[in-house]
Amino acid sequence: MAKQGRLIIVDDNKGILSAVKLLTEKHFASVITLASPNVLISELRLQGADVVLLDMNFTAGINSGNEGLYWLKQVVEKFPETKVVLFTAYADIDLAVKSMQFGAVDFVVKPWDNDRLITSLRNAYNMSQGENRKRKKESNARDEVPMFWGQSEAMSRVRDIVDKVATTDANILITGENGTGKEVLAREIHRRSLRRQSPMVSIDMGAIPESLFESELFGHKKGAFTDAHIDREGKFLVANGGTLFLDEIGNLSQQSQQKMLVALQNRSIVPLGSDEVVAVDIRLIAATNRNLFKMVGEGNFRQDLLYRINTIHIELPPLRQRKEDILPLAEIFLTRYANRYNKGELRFTEEAQQALKEYLWEGNIRELQHTVEKAVIMAENRDVDVEQLRLQPIAPSLQKAEGSTLEDMERRMISEAIASSDGNMTTVAQQLGISRQTLYNKIKRYGL
């Protein structure tokens, strides 16, 4: 059988490391040995691994197995595609069985049986490959819109900027209306960056209560507050070596803005309940549908923070400014949902195409996507007509919206959605494509 996969062995006994490496090199394409788990996470970030063979104890005189559990949780949380097999002494068997509840796939007892060890490691490798294939298939089937540049002049300008900055570490601020694809663009920039082998971590700043801001972003130590039962890494550390995407950054309070500024300036964070300063290496991409420059003038957003996040500014145009891209996007969604709902080959009628091009698309790409999905579900034959699109007539007030500010348009959209949904906030949030927490924040901001 051809050698496949990458294995990392972590054990503080050099004799064991040498013996297991000699045994496993016949079965794995790459075998790495680590005498300490302290460098395991950085090694996984740098090169990755299919399987980790992890000892339970590393500190002399301590045989509780807690060290192994700690590093097991770190690997499972940060690298779910990597499978962990525990290496344990006889006295640790009960603990090893318990640890499988935390994500280990198997355990091997020392002194080990060679055949048993190889079988366990190969099974773990096959499991990782099966889940990776499943994850890839699910990823391809997601509703997330792939980056579509289109043919419009407005998007051509955006693409020129991305071509210049993607491979740099420059902080980027993406602005634009709801539904224009700010997170999709952020993922495209990350995919084309030098950090693409590390994760891009996304967080909706509008959905984080003020009381949890530091814990979510910077992490906390056990006992830092009432419900802090275990140590937890914040998003900065999870994204270490990769990209941190902060959506709706305009929703940060003044206090949170100050904490964010300090972290970005110092390139370090201090977890709650700790005095330890932890260095972080992230590329920051922030996004908002608000006018931060206007907010600075009104005293609602720190100018120094805006300078920090705004090395490069990219404004995503709304669909009404890239009308030539509406039909190609609609065709992409039509094919996707026709396949998903087993509708065969569908096509838009000429009347439907004209309606799509003329519609205002206040919700932009997100609204277009949802409209086409509903039309596919309602389609009774090959032709998708205006009737299946169910586009709402454009009110005169909305036809003039192009000259309004983003805030005015957003306020009006939320107000109309609340009225049409009889105040059902769950329905309103779903209709607008935002979380309930974000909706409540916006209602408070606009005094609705």
CATH value at residue 309: 3.40.50.300
Domain boundary residue, one of 287, 315, 343: 315
In a domain, residue 244? The reply is: yes
Question: pLDDT at position 299, please?
Answer: 93
- Do 419 and 384 have their domain in common? yes
Q: Phi, psi at residue 315, to the nearest 5°?
A: -100, 115
Comparing CA positions, the residue from 371, 430, 361, 424 lying closest to residue 394 is 361
| Cα–Cα distance, 238 to 234 (Å, whole number) | 6
Residue 84: phi and psi, rounded to 5, are -110, 125
pLDDT for 9 beyond 90:
yes
Q: Averaging pLDDT over each range in 95-104, 107-116, 152-161, which range is the top one?
A: 152-161
Domain CATH number, residue 39 = 3.40.50.2300
- Residues β-bridged to residue 173: 286, 313
280 with 338, same domain: the answer is no
Specify if 54 maps to a domain. Answer: yes
Sign of CA dihedral 114, 120, 123, 124: negative
Task: Please report which confidence band the pLDDT of residue 263 belongs to, taking 50, 70 and 90 as the band edges.
Answer: very high
Q: Residue 447: what pLDDT?
A: 67
Edge-to-edge strands, sheet with 200-204: 200-204, 243-247, 283-288, 172-175, 312-315
Pairing state of beta strands 219-220 and 232-233? antiparallel
| Backbone φ, ψ for residue 199 (5° rounding) | -75, 155
* 368-426 pLDDT tens trace: 999 999 999 999 899 999 999 988 765 444 444 444 566 677 777 887 777 666 667 77
58: helix, coil or strand?
Answer: coil
**Whole-Å CA distances, 422 to 50, 371, 415, 435:** 52, 21, 11, 18
Tell me the residue type at 101.
Q
The per-residue pLDDT for range 30-50, each reduced to its tens digit, is 999 999 888 898 888 777 899
**One domain for residues 228 and 211:** yes
Helix H, strand E, coil C: the string for 282-310 is CEEEEEECCCHHHHHHCCCCCHHHHHHHC
205 and 246 Cβ atoms separated by less than 8 Å: yes
The region, left, alpha or beta by phi > 0 then psi within -120 to 50, assigned to residue 60 is: beta
Residues 72 and 216 in one domain: no
Pick from 140, 163, 198: which residue ends a domain? 140
Q: How far apart are CA 163 and CA 171, in angstroms?
A: 15
Secondary structure of residue 175 in the 3-state scheme: strand
Query: Across all residues in the chain, what is the average pLDDT?
Result: 85
Interval 148-184: pLDDT, tens = 898 899 999 999 999 999 999 999 999 999 999 999 9
Domain coverage including residue 157: 153-315
pLDDT value at 336 more than 50: yes
Q: Are residues 279 and 293 in the same domain?
A: yes
pLDDT in tens, 198-243: 889 999 988 888 888 998 899 988 888 877 777 888 899 999 999 9
Q: Is 147 among the domain residues?
A: no
Q: Per the domain annotation, does 146 fall within a domain?
A: no
Q: Where are the beta strands (DSSP E) in 256-412?
A: 268-269, 278-279, 283-288, 312-315, 347-348, 383-384
β pairing state of 278-279 and 200-204: unpaired
How many Cβ atoms are within 10 Å of 57's Cβ, its own excluded? 21
Among 225, 218, 300, CA closest to 266: 218
Examine the domain organization and report whether 239 and 283 are in the same domain. yes
- Asked whether residue 103 carries a pLDDT value surpassing 80, the answer given is yes
H-run or E-run covering 201: strand 200-204
Position 310 in a domain: yes
pLDDT in tens, 53-91: 998 877 644 445 577 888 898 898 888 889 999 888 765
Q: Which amino acid is at 256?
A: S
Can you give the pLDDT at residue 398? 45
Please check whether residue 1 lies inside any domain of the structure.
no
Q: pLDDT band at 259, cuts 50/70/90?
A: very high
Is residue 402 assigned to a domain? yes
State whether 28 and 97 are in the same domain.
yes
Residue 238, in any domain of the structure? yes
Encoding tokens for residue 106?
């198997």
CATH of the domain at 400: 1.10.8.60
List Cα–Cα distances, 277 to 107, 233, 246, in angstroms.
35, 13, 22
In a shared domain, residues 309 and 440: no
Quote the CA–CA distance of 368 and 354 in Å, as a whole number.
14
C-alpha separations of 225 from 266, 268, 272 in Å: 25, 22, 8
Whether 311 and 370 share a structural domain: no
Quote the DSSP letter at residue 272.
Answer: B
Domain end point (choices 86, 109, 140): 140
Number of domains in the chain: 3
pLDDT at 83: 93
Cis previous bond, 80, omega within 30: no
362-383 pLDDT per residue, tens: 899 999 999 999 999 999 899 9
Share of the chain above pLDDT 70, in %: 86
Q: Which pLDDT does position 118 carry in this prediction?
A: 92
Provide, rounded to the nearest whole percent, the portion of the chain with pLDDT above 90.
Answer: 50
Give the rounded distance of the alpha carbon of 234 from its chain centre: 14
Helix (H) or strand (E) holding 172: strand 172-175
Question: Do residues 15 and 55 make contact, with C-beta atoms less than 8 angstroms apart?
Answer: no
Same domain? For 244 and 337 the reply is no
- Are 169 and 34 members of one domain? no
In angstroms, the CA 426 to CA 436 distance is 7
| CA gap 112, 53 in Å, rounded | 13
Regarding whether 371 and 275 lie in a shared domain, the answer is no
